[in-house]
């Protein structure tokens, strides 16, 4: 679409950056913090773990001072559930509460809007041991009680809340659910039950949120992507639409429409993956929809139709986190029109705009970009600078597409770079860096943990100062 009016970013646009607790805080067992499923993950001998991470727990004042220098309007962070409730519920850890109180107050001192993620992968290990965690309905009450404590404790200062980060990733990664089931089919079915329970927990949480914090806003943070057909063959186009449904749209249909779409429910039935649904669940989901949608966007996918055969019976999957193919639906292929990152992720700025258009068309809710960024092999030069022009180029192109979406009257309320500073990547340790600020450590060498501003830091500072007018 050729646009005529060139709108600017709104004056109150939330120029931000993001992190998550377990990837930056470190202090994994300091000051009374309990164990999470992340702490229990088997250590990989080739990459760092999360015990120290970027040591944000001890260095948060220095980090927030850097955020202020950057000019951030918002900072998206997550609370470590077991830093508040070491056992997942019951006894409150005052030191944990004090840390987040101090963190929020320090942000507000510099005029930075806190965006609080209630739960970002690090589920309490005690609750997994007690009743299986998210696969049990007992998890719903414990999550709601935890969330309500946060509302009552921090709600006088936090206006924007995110319920669950990338719920689809949680359900597809057994260790993040605490599932030790070796039978992959059984584990997969448990994952879909956990997903349903998380949706019900979200709805109950929103119901309480509206009573406790009626002037604030709340929504999920979802991983979202566009899926392109490999050709103009009708079967490839159908494969792309079906892939969008079973990988992305099903979840927001639950959150924003309150129900499973009939094609998706049939998909679950055919594979014996249907969750147990309680009588009041649909009513609860329908009556407690989010105020906005948080979107984590990095790349797009391209697929061709993948027919089911005797050799590949329906439901066969390939890959790990997000399957490379599912017989009877789709098979991912390389898109030769797009460049890739160091990790092979296809770089597609227009894909972000397409996602924003798709989401608003489907759900008609304001959108907050909660994550967008480039992971790369950054190099520290002369012990003082990182010339990450590749990151600047990536961010610039994506922000340009956000502006074009706003020009199409799509209500985008903010943009958070992933990430503010280097943090521990879930699969690649400190080898894969996303930050605007370099953290001086390597996987097994803490070095001095100095914070060093990258070239992208200074670029993003100018973007914020000019409210997105100076991108070059």
- CATH number where 262 lies: 3.20.20.80
Digit-coded pLDDT (tens) for 295-321: 999 999 999 999 998 888 888 777 655
Could you write out the DSSP letters of every residue in 289-323?
--SSEEEE----EEEE-----SSS-TT-EESSSS-
Average pLDDT, the chain: 93
130 located within any domain:
yes
The confidence score (pLDDT) of residue 318 equals: 74
5 located within any domain:
no
Q: Is the Cβ–Cβ distance between 299 and 328 less than 8 Å? A: no
How confident is residue 181, by pLDDT bands cut at 50, 70 and 90? confident
Digit-coded pLDDT (tens) for 388-404: 999 999 999 999 999 99
- Report which secondary-structure segment, H or E, holds 104: helix 94-109
Question: How many whole angstroms separate alpha carbon 222 and alpha carbon 261?
Answer: 18
* Both tokens assigned to 196: 């349903």
Mean pLDDT for 440-449 is 84
The confidence score (pLDDT) of residue 7 equals: 80
- Is 383 a residue whose pLDDT tops 90? no
Mean pLDDT for 274-299 is 97
- Is 322 a residue whose pLDDT tops 90? no
The confidence score (pLDDT) of residue 5 equals: 59
The confidence score (pLDDT) of residue 4 equals: 62
How confident is residue 53, by pLDDT bands cut at 50, 70 and 90? very high
How confident is residue 443, by pLDDT bands cut at 50, 70 and 90? confident
Q: Is the Cβ–Cβ distance between 147 and 153 less than 8 Å? A: no
Question: How many whole angstroms separate alpha carbon 414 and alpha carbon 76?
Answer: 11
pTM of the model: 0.95
Using alpha carbons, select from 252, 263, 255 the residue that is nearest to residue 358: 252
Digit-coded pLDDT (tens) for 192-243: 999 999 999 999 999 999 999 999 999 999 999 999 999 999 999 999 999 9
- Report which secondary-structure segment, H or E, holds 455: helix 455-465
Question: How many whole angstroms separate alpha carbon 392 and alpha carbon 461?
Answer: 12
The confidence score (pLDDT) of residue 48 equals: 67
The count of domains in the chain is 1
* Both tokens assigned to 291: 């105020």
Question: How many whole angstroms separate alpha carbon 430 and alpha carbon 403?
Answer: 32
Digit-coded pLDDT (tens) for 423-437: 998 778 888 999 999
The confidence score (pLDDT) of residue 310 equals: 81
9 located within any domain:
no
Mean pLDDT for 254-276 is 95
* Both tokens assigned to 250: 């099903």
The confidence score (pLDDT) of residue 1 equals: 64
Q: Is the Cβ–Cβ distance between 354 and 248 less than 8 Å? A: no
In terms of residue numbers, what domain contains 434? 14-465
Tokens 């979802």 correspond to what residue? Answer: 222
Using alpha carbons, select from 428, 450, 455 the residue that is nearest to residue 440: 450
8 located within any domain:
no
Residue 298, Ramachandran bin (φ over 0: left; ψ between -120 and 50: alpha; else beta)? alpha
DSSP state of 98: H
45 located within any domain:
yes
- Is 384 a residue whose pLDDT tops 70? yes
How far out from the chain centre does Cα 50 lie? Answer: 18
Radius of gyration over alpha carbons of the chain, in Å?
21
Question: How many whole angstroms separate alpha carbon 371 and alpha carbon 432?
Answer: 16
The confidence score (pLDDT) of residue 292 equals: 98
Q: Regarding beta strands 293-296 and 367-371, do their DSSP bridges make them parallel or antiparallel, or are they unpaired?
A: parallel
- List Cβ neighbours of 94 (8 Å cut-off, separation of 6 or more): 32
Question: How many whole angstroms separate alpha carbon 46 and alpha carbon 55?
Answer: 20
Q: Which of 113, 188, 346, 371 is catalytic?
A: 371
Question: How many whole angstroms separate alpha carbon 133 and alpha carbon 140?
Answer: 9
Other beta carbons within 10 angstroms of residue 119's beta carbon come to: 28
Digit-coded pLDDT (tens) for 60-101: 999 999 999 999 999 999 999 999 999 999 999 999 999 999
- Is 180 a residue whose pLDDT tops 90? no
Digit-coded pLDDT (tens) for 100-133: 999 999 999 999 999 999 999 999 999 999 999 9
- List Cβ neighbours of 163 (8 Å cut-off, separation of 6 or more): 118, 119, 147, 202, 205, 206, 218, 219, 220, 221, 290
Digit-coded pLDDT (tens) for 355-370: 999 999 999 999 999 9
Going from the C-alpha of 126 to that of each of 21, 80, 170, the distances in angstroms are: 19, 14, 17
Sign of the Cα torsion 20, 26, 28, 31 reads: negative
Could you write out the DSSP letters of every residue in 11-46?
TT-EEEEE--HHHH---TTGGG---BTTTTSPPPTT
- SS3 at position 39: coil
How confident is residue 182, by pLDDT bands cut at 50, 70 and 90? confident
3 located within any domain:
no
How confident is residue 179, by pLDDT bands cut at 50, 70 and 90? confident
350 located within any domain:
yes
What percent of the chain shows pLDDT beyond 90? 83
Q: What residues pair up with 21 in beta bridges, in sequence order?
A: none
Q: Which of 106, 113, 166, 188 is catalytic?
A: 166
Mean pLDDT for 2-29 is 90
- Is 45 a residue whose pLDDT tops 60? no
Question: Is residue 129 flagged as an active site residue?
Answer: no
The confidence score (pLDDT) of residue 275 equals: 96
Question: Is residue 469 flagged as an active site residue?
Answer: no
Mean pLDDT for 445-452 is 89
Question: How many whole angstroms separate alpha carbon 267 and alpha carbon 192?
Answer: 12
The confidence score (pLDDT) of residue 187 equals: 86
The confidence score (pLDDT) of residue 44 equals: 65
How far out from the chain centre does Cα 232 lie? Answer: 32
Mean pLDDT for 328-355 is 95
4 located within any domain:
no
- Is 46 a residue whose pLDDT tops 90? no
Going from the C-alpha of 239 to that of each of 108, 231, 250, 263, 335, the distances in angstroms are: 47, 11, 15, 13, 15
């Amino acid at each position: 679409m050729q646009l005529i009016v060139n709108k600017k970013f709104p004056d109150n646009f939330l120029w931000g950056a993001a992190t998550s607790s377990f990837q930056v805080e470190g202090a994994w067992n300091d000051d009374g913090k309990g164990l999470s499923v992340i702490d229990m993950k088997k250590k990989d001998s080739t990459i760092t773990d999360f015990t120290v991470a970027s040591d944000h727990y001890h260095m948060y004042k220095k980090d927030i001072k850097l955020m202020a220098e950057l000019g951030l309007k918002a900072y998206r962070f997550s609370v470590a559930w077991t830093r508040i409730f070491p056992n997942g519920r019951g006894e409150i850890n005052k030191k944990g509460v004090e840390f987040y109180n101090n963190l929020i107050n320090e942000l507000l001192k510099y005029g930075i809007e806190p965006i609080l993620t209630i739960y970002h992968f690090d589920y309490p290990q005690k609750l997994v041991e007690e009743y299986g965690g998210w696969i049990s309905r007992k998890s719903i009450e414990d999550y709601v009680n935890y969330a309500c404590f946060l509302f009552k404790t921090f709600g006088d200062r936090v206006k924007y809340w995110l319920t669950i980060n990338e719920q689809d990733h949680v359900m597809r990664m057994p260790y993040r659910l605490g599932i030790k089931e070796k039978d992959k089919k059984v584990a997969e079915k448990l994952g879909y039950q956990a997903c349903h329970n998380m949706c019900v927990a979200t709805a109950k949480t929103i119901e309480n949120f509206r009573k406790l914090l009626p002037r604030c806003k709340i929504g999920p943070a979802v991983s979202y992507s566009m899926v392109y057909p490999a050709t103009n063959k009708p079967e490839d186009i159908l494969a792309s639409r079906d892939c969008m449904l079973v990988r992305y749209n099903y979840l927001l249909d639950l959150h924003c429409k309150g129900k499973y779409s009939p094609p998706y429910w049939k998909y679950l039935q055919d594979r014996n993956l249907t969750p147990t649904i309680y009588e009041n669940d649909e009513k609860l989901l329908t009556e407690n929809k989010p105020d906005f949608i948080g979107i984590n966007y990095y790349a797009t996918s391209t697929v061709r139709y993948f027919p089911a055969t005797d050799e590949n019976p329906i439901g066969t999957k390939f890959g790990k986190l997000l399957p490379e193919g599912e017989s009877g639906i789709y098979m991912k292929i390389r898109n030769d029109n797009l460049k890739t990152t160091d990790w092979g992720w296809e770089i597609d700025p227009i894909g972000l705009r397409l996602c924003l258009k798709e989401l608003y068309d489907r759900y008609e809710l304001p959108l907050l970009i909660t994550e967008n960024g480039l992971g790369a092999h950054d190099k520290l030069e002369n012990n003082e600078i990182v010339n990450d022009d590749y990151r600047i180029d990536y961010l610039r192109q994506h922000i340009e597409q956000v502006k074009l979406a706003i020009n199409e009257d799509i209500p985008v309320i903010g943009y958070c770079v992933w990430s503010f500073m280097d943090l521990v990547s879930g699969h690649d340790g400190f080898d894969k860096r996303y930050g605007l600020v370099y953290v001086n450590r390597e996987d097994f060498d803490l070095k001095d943990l100095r914070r060093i501003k990258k070239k992208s830091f200074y670029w993003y500072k100018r973007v914020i100062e000019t409210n997105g007018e100076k991108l070059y």
